Homo-oligomer: A and B are copies of this chain.
Amino acid sequence: MKIVCFGEIMMRLNPEGYQRFVQAERFEATYAGGEANVAVSLANYGLDASFVTKLPSNPLGESARNAVRHFGVDTKDIVWGGPRLGLYFVEKGASQRASKVVYDRAGSSIACAKRTDFDWAKILKGAKWFHFTGITPALGGELPEICLDALKYCKAHRITVSCDLNYRGKLWTKAEAGRCMAKLVPFVDVLIANEADAADVFGIVGEGSDVENGTLDKKGYVSVAEQLVKRFGCKKVAITLRTSLSAFDNLWAGMLYDAKSAKAFFSTEYKVHIVDRVGGGDSFGGGLVYALATKRGDQASIDFAVAASCLKHSIEHDFNLVTVSEVETLAAGNGTGRVQR
């Protein structure tokens, strides 16, 4: 099944281990981005994932392309040209010290892309699913229109659309995000958000949820999902539930709300000891899209998505390099980490 993911891919530069930026003599260079991460998850699970973006015609852009092609993502619809590859720097936190991300993505090739760069009829031909995140329109320029172009094509051709709200305060204000996303989300079938996104973008809050204290109030999450469904007509809303105990230890769970049945499905809550937290949300998206696209049912889908992203926290860099069977093993309750010989 062909699934198209659209967005930015950047070079990720992080110091080795727990070094701070001011200590770094060397950076590990990988390539990642919200939608690229989902595309790699999907290809990895065996689906026919295509990643679409615009990249500069230089060895850095080529390396970004190679990085997703490496894991089987189709890259033939990538558009070439424009000024530069976006970058971001990641400093891994530890104990009470938080991880830090410094973005250097302004003026990237995809941020400067034009509507005419993307021939959606050709790109989406044969696709069953389209995935993007709120980061893509947040890049500005013509990207809100480009996203709209794609979404309209999807609507017209019955291609399922998923979107991770992914609010980024460094890219736009809450007001801007709200105005723009309000035009796009009506086209979205499966909407994904973390605890804060719905509030930041649409001012939607559930009763009883308290992000700062990290308390999980199931009723509050259901209420958020209901409001999103009501306002935008989404078919499903998924919410990730992270409780950050320290940079090393997080609780991690998720909820999937199904509009048709008006039912909410909650996953197990995992306590993860973190290897690399960046990309955690995207791995949830990847797991969820896979599970829903392969018709696993609501409870099984949220279980798969949360188990998948639980495992992601044990993996270096953004991509979630796990197999379907590894996810299923954990979802079935085996998280003992016993050596497999």
Contacts and interface: CB of A to CB of B under 8 A. Distances in A.
Contacts of A326: 97
17 contacts: A20-B315, A23-B316, A23-B317, A26-B26, A58-B102, A70-B70, A84-B104, A84-B106, A85-B104, A87-B87, A95-B274, A96-B330, A97-B315, A101-B339, A106-B107, A249-B273, A278-B339
Question: Can you tell how many copies of this chain the complex includes?
Answer: 6
A215 to B, nearest CB: 13
A151 to B, nearest CB: 26
A134 to B, nearest CB: 13
Shortest beta-carbon contacts, A-B, top 5: A247-B337, A21-B59, A96-B335, A94-B314, A97-B314
A139 to B, nearest CB: 15
Given A63-B24, A321-B20, A244 B101 contact: no
Given A278-B339, A337-B247, A83 B96 contact: no
A93 B314 contact: yes
A46 interface: no
A314 B18 CA distance: 8
A97 B311 contact: yes
Interface string A11-43: 001000111111111111110000000000000
A336 B244 contact: yes
A183 interface: no
A66 B70 contact: yes
A312 to B, nearest CB: 9
B273 A339 contact: no
Interface in A233-292: 244-249, 270, 272-275, 277-278
A341 interface: yes
A116 interface: no
Interface in A93-120: 93-104, 106-107
Given A246-B335, A339-B277, A13 B28 contact: no
A310 B71 CA distance: 31
Interface in A59-94: 59-60, 62-63, 66, 69-72, 83-85, 87, 89, 91, 93-94
Contacts of A122: none
A170 interface: yes
Contacts of A244: 336-338
